[in-house]
Amino acid sequence: MQCTPDDATEDLRYQTVLLSLGVIAFGGLVATALHGLERWTHPISLVIPPLTVAAALGQFAYLFGRPGRTRQVIGLSLGWVSLIMLFPEYFFTLEAALSPDKQLIETLPPISSGLFLLTTGMIVFLRPRQLVRLSFLLWLVTAAPVVVYLLLHPLELQSPRGQDLMFALGPAMAVNICFVLFYTRLQDTLDRLALERIYLKESSERDVLTGVFNRRAGEQLLQALESRPDEPFGIILCDIDHFKRINDTHGHAQGDQVLREVASRFQAHLRQGDVLIRWGGEEFVVVVTGKGVDSLKVLAERLRQVIGGEPIGTVGRVTASFGVAQHRPAESRQDLFDRADQALYQAKNLGRNQVVWAGVTP
């Protein structure tokens, strides 16, 4: 079974989350070691890094054992990173506001880099619609306390660290949010183009009137089957009897209704794996692969009965003639269709509403 694009994306996301958790754990170890070498470290700085290591390694082990839980782990990871970034910020901002002998520019950990990394991570892991709301909310709750504090403490605002914080949490983050908005618009455009491409591909392979595969798609299928000699297959060629008379007597609208109804009845009685193709005009082809080719004539007979079993609208009872042929080794598609067409011609000569096998019946 081939891997679909969605499967490939999920696998890439899974691997990226594992790698990110490994990097977070390594960063926590480095921070723990650096704080351990300092003469004096705030208790928060001593607690958060090792907790981050434990959380990252725990989520890594959980996801490694349950690859299908990628989205849950993403939510937990983003929540934890947001917490370890916001808690120290609010704590040190409140501490500086309440303690005249403390300055925020001296005690606040480097949060701006963490904010940029977090929004970048959300671009990778979150859906575009979630991304815009969460990025803006994160920016607001992160920037608000520091910006308000600095505006109320002009001396700290005028310092190099204060100006750097104001710039990083203000204009720089605004530009980052613009990038997020651009990404979401771009992703929406790409999604729309992907849907249009699927629609166009589907339209190019489908008959507009009946909704079944058209001749172009049928020829591609038969070409693929012809290139696989180990895969047995056969065809059922069907032609609606006296279809020109139906159009002349009842009108082309009723003729179109007959074609749609015949295609619908076929689809309702075909087996899984059988492919129905409108070959042209009132002619249909059923391609049967695998072991089912041994019962081609039985299937064709059932389809013949299905068509003529119930009347179709104001047209009444409609019948069809069938030519059935099983593909022979090294036989070309043209030869296969020639045999089926000869069988169909014979069915019409015998009085129509019949099934004729091309060759010796298995």
Q: Residue 318 is part of a domain; what is its CATH number?
A: 3.30.70.270
Write down the pLDDT at residue 195.
Answer: 63
Burial code of 31-64, b = ≥16 C-beta within 10 A, e = fewer? bbeebeeeeeebeebeebbeebbebbbebbeebe
Is residue 208 one of the residues assigned to a domain?
Answer: no
Q: What is the mean pLDDT of residues 40-52?
A: 84
Is residue 340 one of the residues assigned to a domain?
Answer: yes
Is residue 347 one of the residues assigned to a domain?
Answer: yes
Which of 202, 230, 245 marks a domain boundary?
Answer: 202
| Whether residues 30 and 138 fall in one domain | yes
| Whether residues 39 and 72 fall in one domain | yes
Confidence tier at 133 by pLDDT (50, 70, 90)? confident
| Whether residues 44 and 132 fall in one domain | yes
| Whether residues 253 and 187 fall in one domain | no
Percent with pLDDT over 90 in the chain: 34
Write down the pLDDT at residue 200.
Answer: 65
| Whether residues 232 and 176 fall in one domain | no
Report the domain count for the chain: 2
Is residue 334 one of the residues assigned to a domain?
Answer: yes
Indicate which residue of 89, 106, 282, 310 is catalytic.
Answer: 282
Q: Structure tokens of 12? A: 């890439």
* In the predicted structure, residue 233 carries a pLDDT above the cut 70: yes
* In the predicted structure, residue 100 carries a pLDDT above the cut 70: yes
If one compares 47 and 320, the residue with the highest pLDDT of the two is 320
Confidence tier at 194 by pLDDT (50, 70, 90)? low
In the chain, count of helices (H) and strands (E)? 14, 5
| Whether residues 16 and 82 fall in one domain | yes
Q: What is the mean pLDDT of residues 90-95?
A: 90
Considering 187-196, 232-241, 328-337, the range whose residues carry the highest mean pLDDT is: 232-241
What's at 27, amino acid-wise?
A: G
Confidence tier at 184 by pLDDT (50, 70, 90)? confident
Write down the pLDDT at residue 1.
Answer: 37
| Whether residues 56 and 113 fall in one domain | yes
Question: Cβ distance 320 to 246 under 8 Å?
Answer: no
| Residue 283 to residue 324: CA distance in whole angstroms | 13
> What domain range is 127 assigned to?
5-202
Write down the pLDDT at residue 8.
Answer: 65
What's at 344, amino acid-wise?
A: L
| Residue 267 to residue 330: CA distance in whole angstroms | 30
If one compares 321 and 193, the residue with the highest pLDDT of the two is 321
Is residue 61 one of the residues assigned to a domain?
Answer: yes
Which of 163, 179, 202 marks a domain boundary?
Answer: 202
Give the CB-side neighbour count of residue 16, counting CA atoms within 13 A.
15
| Whether residues 149 and 249 fall in one domain | no
Q: What is the mean pLDDT of residues 187-216?
A: 77
If one compares 321 and 141, the residue with the highest pLDDT of the two is 321
Question: Cβ distance 234 to 327 under 8 Å?
Answer: yes
Q: Which residue has the tokens 């308000």?
A: 148
Q: What is the mean pLDDT of residues 104-111?
A: 84
| Residue 78 to residue 85: CA distance in whole angstroms | 11
Q: What is the mean pLDDT of residues 147-167?
A: 91
Is residue 153 one of the residues assigned to a domain?
Answer: yes
Q: What is the mean pLDDT of residues 161-187?
A: 85
* In the predicted structure, residue 82 carries a pLDDT above the cut 90: no
Instruction: Specify the 3-state DSSP secondary structure of 154.
Output: helix
Which of 165, 180, 202 marks a domain boundary?
Answer: 202
Q: Tell me which DSSP letter residue 360 carries.
A: S
Write down the pLDDT at residue 261.
Answer: 94
| Residue 127 to residue 144: CA distance in whole angstroms | 25
* In the predicted structure, residue 9 carries a pLDDT above the cut 80: no
Q: What is the mean pLDDT of residues 205-213?
A: 88
Write down the pLDDT at residue 173.
Answer: 84
Is 282 an annotated catalytic residue?
Answer: yes
**What are the pLDDT digits (tens) for 12-33?**
888 888 998 898 889 889 888 8
Q: Which of 9-13, 65-69, 118-122, 191-195 has the lowest mean pLDDT?
A: 191-195
| Whether residues 173 and 285 fall in one domain | no
Q: What is the mean pLDDT of residues 174-202?
A: 75
Is residue 321 one of the residues assigned to a domain?
Answer: yes
* In the predicted structure, residue 3 carries a pLDDT above the cut 50: no
| Whether residues 169 and 223 fall in one domain | no
* In the predicted structure, residue 203 carries a pLDDT above the cut 80: no
Write down the pLDDT at residue 86.
Answer: 86
Is residue 210 one of the residues assigned to a domain?
Answer: no
- The mean of the pLDDT values for the chain is 85
Q: What is the mean pLDDT of residues 144-158?
A: 92
Write down the pLDDT at residue 58.
Answer: 93
| Whether residues 187 and 41 fall in one domain | yes
**What are the pLDDT digits (tens) for 304-355?**
999 988 899 889 999 999 999 998 888 888 899 999 999 999 999 999 999 9
| Whether residues 148 and 288 fall in one domain | no
* In the predicted structure, residue 2 carries a pLDDT above the cut 50: no
